[in-house]
Amino acid sequence: MATKKDINIFNDKVCLSTKAICEILHVTRETLSMWKEKGCPQVQRGWWDIENVLIWRSQVNTKNSDDPEEMTKAEYKLYFDGKLKAAQFEGADLKNAVARGDYHKAVDCSTDRNYQFNVLKRLLSALSRTIATDLSGFVDQAQCRRMENMVNERTKDWLRQVSKGNEKFKPSKL
């Protein structure tokens, strides 16, 4: 219980001893010491201006800013430690996803795409010969060769445009 000796006046301010302020605010000396490190105003060693302490506590409790310039050093450190932990968690999550096979290496994707494109190229290149063979029973041999060359040239043109990444790709008519 606070006594008369726990109350003093400094610069016309009513001040309480550390023991008294701890009793009134229901906190420990360690908590009060931690508050002091965070910026709680203290008149002098062992004495606290109750009004300023209460004002400081209300500001701390109502502060809801993520602006680093408005933070105390301890809040600043805590804020960025949290951001670091979130980034580390995201990195670990990505590593786990890669290990599970959710993602593939860009080199693997590029190799797969090149392989598939080469297969498509071979199939399309063989298409002109297949068409000519199928038509050989219906038209003369010279006409079959002309058709085979025409299909072959158009196929090569299309493949050339696709391989260059032409966004305005327009296949010519057969």
What are the extents of the domains in the chain? 4-68, 106-163
**What are 107-131's pLDDT values in tens digits?**
666 777 778 888 888 888 888 888 8
Cα distances from 140 to residues 127, 135, 153, in angstroms, run 19, 9, 20
Which residues does residue 13 pair with via DSSP β-bridges, in sequence order? Answer: 10
In which residue are the tokens 């795409």 written?
Answer: 113
Tell me the fold of 4-68.
Arc Repressor Mutant, subunit A (1.10.10)
- pTM assigned to the model: 0.37
**What are 2-24's pLDDT values in tens digits?**
677 888 888 888 888 999 989 88
